[in-house]
Amino acid sequence: MVSIRHFTDEQFSDGTTIDGSRLEKALQDLERWADAIPDGDFANRWMQNQLVMKMLPMTLDSDSFLAGATFAGNYRHAPFTPIYNEKDSENPMRLKGTKLSWNQPYEDPLDPVHVLKRGYIDQCVWSFSLHTGSKPMILDGIDVVMLTDTTEYVSDFRYDLAGPPPQNETGGGPVRDIQFIVGADNPFVSEHQGLNSVLFHRFSFESDSVRFSTVEPAGFPDMNPSLTSVPPMVQLHANSLAIQHKNLSIPVPPYTRLRFSLVLPMGYVPWDDKPWQKSNPTVTVTVLEGLGDA
């Protein structure tokens, strides 16, 4: 129960008089207060909302076709773009905090030896942004699903057993080089990625810790008829990944441009030179938005 002191100076208690004029004054104060209840007198109420970002990588057939098409070029990576963390403030390929222990140090991209030897082979990123409105919100959850199958998007997310793995990693072991970053761009110089703030960064986790499969285990039959028995539904998602985080409770101020980034390495097994074709990614962001003037 809210004290009447919150909306009127008239007080009624033991030892004070109660008369009609004072009651009328208190009721008028209550009416004025109810007609313009301030935000601070509301309990914060939040509505959950989901934002789903999806991309479908090129199939093997389309990739083979475009490889012979002169108008398409030879680097069909969109929406993935290369990461190149040179410290120039106007570098459009900068992404803070992604360097792996085995990545080479920065080299001048205009150096012909560098271009010939390495090019952009360290990492690539699928990055997208969300501009919030005039009210604050809460970043509550992140779900990143990297779906594989047996025909188009194939990967076991393990380092090469035969070849040399990256530094400090084990051949045949689960990869530990996928990253997901949530950042807030600088409100005054939003394109300067050296000034952004990192709100969330998942890194150095083993793929086996987030693996899931739709293949039924022995003794537990699938639905009848089996989904995978109906052509063309023959893809078995045995090595897919689900990176999930709940109850993050990250406050986001009004007029913030959030940037979500899925970072994949390049240049070695299992990623090779086209890591975007190893899985079919979906990112679901859960936010809590205030209701009314909350």
pLDDT the model gives residue 294: 45
CA distance 179 to 176: 9
| 105 and 245 housed in the same domain | yes
Task: Provide the residue range defining the domain that includes 99.
Answer: 44-290
pTM of the model: 0.75
In the predicted model, is pLDDT for residue 46 greater than 90? no
One-letter amino acid for residue 78 of the chain = A
89 & 148 share domain: yes
* Residues 63 and 207 reside in one and the same domain: yes
Number of domains comprising the chain:
2
282 is written with which tokens?
């979906």
Query: Which residue in 111, 131, 127, 128 sits closest to 119, CA to CA?
Result: 111
If pLDDT is split at 50, 70 and 90, which confidence band does 229 have?
A: low
For residue 237, what are the contacts with CB-CB under 8 A and spacing of at least 6?
A: 147, 148, 149, 212, 213, 214, 215
Tell me, yes or no, whether 29 and 75 share the same domain: no
Q: Render pLDDT for 135-184 as a digit per residue (tens, 0 to 9).
A: 889 999 999 999 887 778 889 999 988 877 888 888 889 999 999 999 99
Token pair recorded at residue 280: 């079919």
Judgement on whether residues 28 and 50 belong to the same structural domain of the protein: no
Task: Residue 142: name the closest of 93, 100, 183 by CA.
Answer: 183
* 146 and 30 housed in the same domain: no
Q: Confidence band (pLDDT; 50, 70, 90) for 2?
A: low
**Burial class of residue 156 in the structure, from the number of CB atoms within 10 Å of its CB (0-12 exposed, 13-18 middle, 19+ buried):** middle
Give yes or no: residues 11 and 92 share one domain.
no
- Read off the DSSP letter of residue 59: P
Quote the longest CA-to-CA distance of the chain.
96
